[in-house]
Chains A and B, each alone.
Chain A
């Protein structure tokens, strides 16, 4: 699937906003993403496998919240830093 990453994560992808990852579930896609870009998964999910605060993920217009969620391969997964902070 295609994954679009906001600017926060691009230090891990060599500056790329769009990357590809294989996997039928978000867990599988994250594993593949971390294989390609070591350390990136832990910046999106904490050690208890919760999505980090202020991070939003969507695919096909729906929110994706857990690693068990299925993401159709034809959809683009958006991983975005929410507007927050000061």
Chain B
């Protein structure tokens, strides 16, 4: 299918510790312009565009004093409205009961194409919330938030809290969903989120005495490939994995990366049209886990054959003494003929490539710590 460039151009939605930023790259993606910050001073965990209604954006945000909430825009981010009923757990019953309070709306996920106005929010601590009215009111997903199994699956308290992330909806079936939980693993539902089951066979929990457990793994980021919903990839605390659903087992494909680099990282990003192509951004997972670019030399790695081989992509990136991290939501690709690939760093730079990672260019610098990068398309 031919790819037609959006006439309004490509922009990046950048969520940072101190506000939301938009980088405009136009149709050519050659020169980029940084706009003034929005929600300056607030933590912006994630901003996502609705592919069903491109003018609609959804933002998960929080401040240190006022707690987390959701804002929505119907005009490509020109104006924003706060949800009238933001995500919140149920109040615990009984005087001595202690209930959970939301700490972050960590990821926003548009619903299935058949369900216009539906959005999903993945939170810290573990929680899934759904809106059916374009993000104005939110309700907890009972089958997940109140599941007794969830307590059993939750293994610990990872840095930053127990993250719910990588919520995925099968484009062929709105009731088929996946979600990833930090230090709990991957889970699948086939009934719209009423019931969930672990999906971890083959993936290791290398930090446990017995790494082969049914749950308790630590996925950092997982994707359902847009070119093949039966092809899953996962960047975990213990390596890079691929699963073809017909096989139902995670296979560690990151071992083909150079041993001096390793296969630890946060993001994994799919090519828009080739199910065998994904990008990762390895970090140092040795000894005390610095979580920065190995040896201070940052590079993306790409596989074009489903993980059998990997190629280093560092042209245009700092050659040495660059000690940043690319967080799990801070890397993204567009859908252009030559896919653009973008990432934001914990030291506040945004890098982009308009040739699928062959060459990189710094698009913005001196921003606050970057938590998320998403592509916005203006038709």
Contact = CB atoms under 8 A, between A and B. Distances in A.
A8 B63 contact: yes
A86 B112 CA distance: 39
Interface of A: 8-9, 38-39, 42-44, 46-50, 52-55, 81-82, 84-85
11 contacts: A9-B66, A42-B86, A46-B88, A46-B102, A47-B88, A47-B89, A47-B102, A48-B98, A48-B101, A52-B66, A81-B64
Contacts of A8: 63, 65-66
The 4 A-B residue pairs with the shortest CB-CB distance, nearest first, are A47-B88, A46-B101, A81-B65, A43-B66
Nearest to A47: B88
A52 B89 CA distance: 15
Given A44-B66, A54-B64, 11 more contacts: A8-B65, A38-B84, A39-B84, A42-B67, A43-B67, A46-B102, A47-B88, A48-B91, A48-B92, A48-B100, A82-B65
A21 B99 CA distance: 28
Nearest to B64: A85
B19 to A, nearest CB: 14
Contacts of A53: 64-65
B65 A55 contact: yes
Interface in B60-99: 63-67, 69, 82, 84, 86, 88-92, 98-99
Contacts of B100: 48
B95 to A, nearest CB: 11
Interface in B94-114: 98-102
Nearest to A81: B65
A37 to B, nearest CB: 12
Given A46-B101, A47-B99, A48-B98, A54 B65 contact: yes
Interface residues of B, number: 19
Among B65, B88, B102, find the residue whose CB has the most chain A CB atoms closer than 10 A: B65
Nearest to B87: A47
A48 B99 contact: yes
B67 A52 contact: yes
B129 to A, nearest CB: 12
Contacts of B67: 42-43, 46, 52
A60 B89 CA distance: 33
Contacts of A38: 84
Contacts of B65: 8, 43, 52-55, 81-82, 84
Contacts of A85: 64
Given A8-B65, A46-B102, A54-B64, A39 B82 contact: yes
A11 B219 CA distance: 37
